[in-house]
Amino acid sequence: MAAHAEPAAHAEHEHHGPATYTYQPNPFKLDPTTLGLVIFLTSEIALFGAFFLYYGHNRLVRHYEWPQPGFEIPANGTAFNTAILVASSFTCELVLIMLVRNLRRAAIAWMIVTILFGSAFLGLQAREYMEIGFTPQTNAMGSSFFSLTGLHGAHVFLGINLLVYCLIRLWRGHFAKDRMTGLIITSIYWHFVDVVWIVLYTLVYLLPSHT
Amino acid sequence: MRLVILGIVGTVVGLLLGIGIVEANVLPPQASEQAVNTDHVYDIMVIVTMGIFGLVTAVLVAALVLFRERRGETRVAPPVHGHHGLEIIWTAIPAVIVIALTGISWKALSDNESGQADMQVTVWGQQFDWSYDYPDLKLTGVHQLVVPIGAKIDFDVESKDVIHGWWVPAWRVQINATPGQTNQLRVTPTKIGTFKVVCTFICGSGHPVMGTNVQGSIPARIKVVSQDDYKKFVDDAVAKAKQEASSPAAAAVAVFTKAGCGGCHTWGAAKSTGSVGPPLDGLSSHPDAENFIRQSIEDPGAEITQGYPDAMPKDFKSRLSPDELDTLVKALAGGSQ
Amino acid sequence: MNVFLRPNLARCLWVTPFTSLIFMSLTLFIRHWVGMTPIYDSQQMLTVGYISGVLGFLIGIGAFDTWFPWMIGAPTRPEDHSQHGAYSWRDYFRFNTDHKVIGLQYVTTTFIAFFVGGMFAEIFRAELAHPGQDFITTQQYNGFMSQHGTLMIFTFLVPVFAGLGNFVIPLMLGAPDMAFPRLNALSFWLLPLALLIFLSSFIFESFEAGWTGYPPFSTTGPMGETLFEIGIQIAGASSIATAVNFLVTIITMRAPGMTMFRMPLLVWANLATSALVVAATPFIAGAQFMTMFDRVFGTQFFVPSLGGDVLAYQHVFWFYSHPAVYIMVLPGFGIISEVISVMARKPIFGYRAIAFSSAGIAVLGFSVWAHHMFASGMEDWLRVPMMISTMLIAIPTGIKIFSWLGTIWDGVLRMNTAMLFATGFIFTFVIGGVTGIWLASVPFDYHVHDTYFVVAHFHYVLFGGSVMTVFAGVYFWYPKVFGRMVDERLGRLHFWSTFIFSNLTFFPMHWLGLEGMPRRVADYDPAYEGWNTFISISAFCLGAGMLFFVYNMIHSARHGAIAGSNPWGALTLEWQVSSPPPIFNFDVPPRVVGGPYRYGEPGAQHAIFPEETVPVHEPAHV
């Protein structure tokens, strides 16, 4: 760990890597990778924000009807989907808790459950798409609905991919109590996906069908 | 201190410069109440902000001259990190200035839009021409807008296709023609004369010709006339509409004008001079005139005349009613009368 | 390994079309299976082909080389720094994780975009020199005009500061690199892709709806518009990734002792800008998704007859695009603070005011977007609040200008090329700022909106503003990057030519707009001919002056006078290492003991290198 005892200003030297560093402490008690993910998730919130802005503008400023006359939003049916997704967030957290206690098998089991819940959510949403009675091409509110839920679905799909990679690595024993950044990142992302759904469900399904 | 004197001198020079810009008067002559209010705001803004510009430039140039490093210079700059008083002043004064300018603008805006309208005209923007409807008089598709002096007019601006911008520089008012909604504009003309209209929003290959005086455009103008002349215009227009109902040739010209064809095509009957597309006089000599003309309108892309761009809007089939289409086709095919 | 199998541009040559073909075939298959006719839809093919081509290119260049093992659970290779650092010219053409290499890659690519976009402007200025259609059609004009704005904004001004910051900021912080070097490299490689996507639209019929891409013209217009929409996404992704990198680096990788208020102002500027990028860029991505879906999938976002709302696009679009102008200028403000303080050998006047005003502009910048929409027919009640917030944003900007003047006043001014650009910037930017205040006034805006007055305003703030700061930064840090000094005579020629001709080109546009000339027109009322000819000639001279710059940059890299580590006698950390810096920046990590602008204070230090017995302070006056 000895630093090179050389003066600062000289011609290039080959190094085996940078010198060892301790940095100025920062107010966020997060490691850089997690901080990076959280900042990235802010941009994802903004991306959903763009579509919510479109939806909100049409609903609140232009007063377009939602649900559209003659169509029903399956708020009750989708409540079940929502419950599954929320449950998967809890099971995802359980994976971390189990791993911290060194219970690798339990962690793998809960990860499989999480992936199953997530896939079930996607499957049920796909069925809802086919049964809902309108398409993205029907009209603007249809486009808005499908783009919002579709964007979310794409994020769920990506999340399931990340969970699968984590499952593979869990299986191979890559993660340990003090070495699970990848798992933490994935679980934060999964929680984010869940929270976005809760907001989406409330604004697009629940409130419009009960007011 | 010399900085203060410099600042004052710079500000004064700037103010004089601002007055000079205002006096130079590059704006078109004022032809509406809105123009007067807007120009008033412009005058104040120019003079005040030019004062700030003068201040900044004077200090900047003086500093560059006075404090430039000379050869063999040994002076060390004083390690001044700031000055609270100065920083407060140069935050507070600009704040006061912008708040004042906001207030003046707000007042002018509400003056410009206040009061009840005396009449209403609908403005239609389309690729690539303007046309006007007078709902009260049941007149539609009027090409040359005529309005009386002194009337508070509400213009309802709409679009038939993409976004356009309806701007009358002499009136200092502008608003977009946005498809799917009606945008309202208020004007009270105060000068008699002919004034030009300009399209300000990129709308396609014919965007430049929707402005007056551009080569090949039908002059898109507005005429402001006296109250008596306006009555005469109204009577004439109503009579002409009756005539069009019975004269196919005049009706064809009305369709031609309403659809904005003249923006791109020259046709003697309609007195248009557009040159983006091929001329339409003499089409009667074409072997299969009516079918050819009909196809050219309904499916312009099918056959492009050599030397001209594929720029004609492709939706005229849905824009024109079958009757309008028939009338137009027959007139174009039947000779250049 | 064979050259076509190693991660490099050669591999991209086959992986890119290969991936495109796979996905395009997949699309045809899906359309057939679902029963959509006709099976071949040109818009969808174009979209799928291009997006999968981007993916293929990234695979080819090696962006996923560490991801694939991770995904399949294979043991990840320990970092051997083989992708890091430039040992030969070849290293600049491959996936490289060294921020210094990436910085140079960025700046070179963005300048290529600058010159290409500038060429387009010269082409249409030639057409506009006289009224009437001379040698290009209106459609071609619309295409060149749209490409000019798009290239200048998305492939020059937004990324060039990412590039300059990439090179300088880790050094300024005392860090060995950015927080995420591989992500950094990915950010860079997305940029030439975006540039190529925009330019390739000329093959299909260039997009014509301007850089703003408003529907319905953008949803019904020429084929190339889809490529505009895709290119924006790619450029936006690049921008966001860099911003995340900057934020994490600045927050977590400062040298010990560098508290927030001991950071150089360029770092503050990039912090504020990166926060803006992260929060705002997704909105333009969303807007382009919506127009793209309308074009490719037949959605009805912007089809009024089916409930679509054309204004919604404008709100979503400008919610990004207004903060975008601050993204394009805030880092430039940071550069000016650095250059002025060093060249005047005087502390920055009002450090905290400048730092806080950057943050203030970033926040306020989100509240003004609808001032671009005063004449759009938007909700009436929104106009006055937007006017108020727009007027208010002049205040933090004014604070900066006055603070810089306070720095220059009573300094000892070295008027080299960097300082000339920095001071010239103040003059031209204030002009642009002043006309911005006029435009904030709603009744005045009703007269000049979408006219040459607006064109004048934004060229004054973007060219007379941002571009001047870019040149100031390039001339300032050139010795650090290349280890050689630029030719000052050529630099002065470049400056004066740019300063004089940019004013001559853009100032008359104010009058043209006030008199009645609209913007984005290929032809105009012959009454405006005089000024248009004058502007065109000035624009040609402006372009010609850039040749001094190009020659200087290339020639000085080999033949310039050798620069030591600190030719300007500056205090910030990048000047305390060799020029060019060592591969990992600091052989000995620095320790910050004071602010970065302590010129004139006897014995004051910004940083020391603890292993040395003699602490580093300002070298003898050069």
Mark which of C538, C559, C580 sits at the end of a domain.
C559
Whether A129 and chain C come into contact, CB under 8 Å, resolves to no
Looking at the fold, whether C60 and C116 belong to one and the same domain comes out as no
Kindly state the DSSP code that residue C255 receives in the 8-state scheme. P
* Measured distance CA(B73)–CA(C185) in Å, rounded: 45
CATH code linked to domain A32-56+73-210? 1.20.120.80
DSSP string, B111-152: HHH-S--SEEEEEEEETTEEEEEEGGGTEEEESSEEEETT--
Name the pLDDT band for C615 (thresholds 50, 70, 90).
very low
- Percent of chain C at pLDDT above 70? 98
Average model confidence (pLDDT) across chain B: 88
Tell me what pLDDT residue A185 has. 94
**Quick check: C587 and A20 CB within 8 A?**
no
For residues C229-244, give the mean pLDDT: 97
Beta bridge partners of B167: B174, B198
Min mean pLDDT across B189-193, C82-86, C433-437, C612-616 is at: C612-616
**Which residue do the tokens 């824009």 mark?**
B319
Nearest Cα neighbor of A114 from A95, A99, A135 is A95
Min mean pLDDT across C35-44, C225-234, C308-317, C518-527 is at: C35-44
Name the pLDDT band for B336 (thresholds 50, 70, 90).
very low
Nearest Cα neighbor of B257 from B147, B121, B133 is B133
Q: Cβ neighbours of residue B306 under 8 Å, at least 6 residues apart?
A: none
For residue A202 the two structure tokens come to: 């409330």
Looking at the fold, whether C13 and C157 belong to one and the same domain comes out as no
Q: How far apart are the first and last CA of chain A?
A: 66
From chain A residues 50-109, the ones with a CB under 8 A of any chain C CB are: 50-51, 53-54, 57-58, 61-62, 64
User: What pLDDT digit, counting tens, does each position of C432-461 carry?
Assistant: 999 999 999 999 999 999 999 999 999 999
Kindly state the DSSP code that residue B300 receives in the 8-state scheme. G
Q: Is residue C602 part of a domain?
A: no
Looking at the fold, whether C398 and C534 belong to one and the same domain comes out as yes
DSSP string, C182-221: HHHHHHHHHHHHHHHHHHHHHHH----STTTT-TTHHHHS
Q: Cβ neighbours of residue C145 under 8 Å, at least 6 residues apart?
A: C120, C124, C210, C520
Largest CA distance in chain A: 79
Name the pLDDT band for B233 (thresholds 50, 70, 90).
confident
- Percent of chain C at pLDDT above 90? 82
Whether C569 and chain B come into contact, CB under 8 Å, resolves to no
What chains are in contact with A, requiring at least 3 Cβ pairs below 8 Å?
A: C
Minimum Cα–Cα distance from C512: chain B residue: B26
CB contacts, 8 Å: C309 with chain B: 180
**Between C73, C281, C592, which is nearest A43 by CB?**
C281
Name the amino acid, one letter, at C329: V
Do residues C171 and A18 make contact, with C-beta atoms less than 8 angstroms apart? no
In this structure, is the dihedral angle defined by the CA atoms of residues A145, A147, A148 and A154, taken in order, positive or negative? positive
For residues C304-314, give the mean pLDDT: 92
Q: Is residue C20 part of a domain?
A: yes
Q: Is residue C621 part of a domain?
A: no
Residue A1 predicted with pLDDT over 70:
no
Tell me what pLDDT residue B217 has. 61
For residues B117-127, give the mean pLDDT: 92
Q: Is residue C405 part of a domain?
A: yes
In chain A, where the domains are located = 32-56+73-210
Nearest Cα neighbor of C121 from C156, C161, C75, C97 is C156
Residue C99 predicted with pLDDT over 80:
yes
Do residues C218 and C291 make contact, with C-beta atoms less than 8 angstroms apart? yes
Measure Cα distances from B187 to A54, B240, C616 in Å: 32, 27, 70
Tell me what pLDDT residue A9 has. 37
Q: Is residue C82 part of a domain?
A: no
Whether C366 and chain A come into contact, CB under 8 Å, resolves to no
Average model confidence (pLDDT) across chain A: 88
Pure H helices in C516-620: 529-559
pTM given for the model: 0.91
Q: Determine the 3-state secondary structure of B186 from DSSP.
A: strand
Tell me what pLDDT residue C70 has. 82
User: What pLDDT digit, counting tens, does each position of C473-525 carry?
Assistant: 999 999 999 999 999 999 999 999 999 999 999 999 999 999 999 999 998 98
Residue C616 predicted with pLDDT over 50:
no
Looking at the fold, whether C53 and C117 belong to one and the same domain comes out as no
Do residues C335 and C164 make contact, with C-beta atoms less than 8 angstroms apart? yes
Q: Number of folded domains in chain C?
A: 2
For residue C445 the two structure tokens come to: 């805006």
Best mutation target among A14, A23, A31, A52 (most C Cβ atoms within 10 Å) is A23
Residue B53 predicted with pLDDT over 50:
yes
φ, ψ for residue C208, nearest 5 deg: -120, 0
Minimum Cα–Cα distance from C249: chain A residue: A32
Q: Looking at this predicted complex, what is its ipTM?
A: 0.91
Tell me what pLDDT residue C587 has. 86
Looking at the fold, whether C373 and C480 belong to one and the same domain comes out as yes
Tell me what pLDDT residue C547 has. 96
Residue A192 predicted with pLDDT over 90:
yes
**Between A20, A23, A182, which is nearest C253 by CB?**
A23
Tell me what pLDDT residue C197 has. 96
**Quick check: B80 and C527 CB within 8 A?**
no
Residue C173 predicted with pLDDT over 70:
yes
Beta bridge partners of C496: none
Torsion of CA A78, A83, A87, A89, to 10 degrees: 60
Looking at the fold, whether C469 and C537 belong to one and the same domain comes out as yes
> Which CATH number belongs to the domain containing residue C152 in this structure?
1.20.210.10
CB contacts, 8 Å: B33 with chain C: none
Name the pLDDT band for C429 (thresholds 50, 70, 90).
very high
Tell me what pLDDT residue B219 has. 61
Looking at the fold, whether C29 and C145 belong to one and the same domain comes out as no
Q: Cβ neighbours of residue A202 under 8 Å, at least 6 residues apart?
A: none
Would strands B198-199 and B164-168 be described as parallel, antiparallel, or unpaired? antiparallel
Q: CB neighbours (10 Å) of residue A16? A: 7
- Give the H or E element holding residue A190: helix A181-200
Looking at the fold, whether C374 and C494 belong to one and the same domain comes out as yes
Task: Please tell me which of A26-40, A181-195, B122-136, C608-622 the model is most confident about, judged by mean pLDDT.
Answer: A181-195
Residue C463 predicted with pLDDT over 80:
yes
Name the pLDDT band for C77 (thresholds 50, 70, 90).
confident
Name the amino acid, one letter, at A125: Q
- Is there a cis peptide before residue C181, judged by omega within 30 degrees of 0? no
Looking at the fold, whether C27 and C145 belong to one and the same domain comes out as no
From chain C residues 254-293, the ones with a CB under 8 A of any chain A CB are: 254-259, 278-283, 285-287, 289-290, 293
Do residues C450 and B200 make contact, with C-beta atoms less than 8 angstroms apart? yes
**What is the residue range of C536's domain?**
101-178+316-559
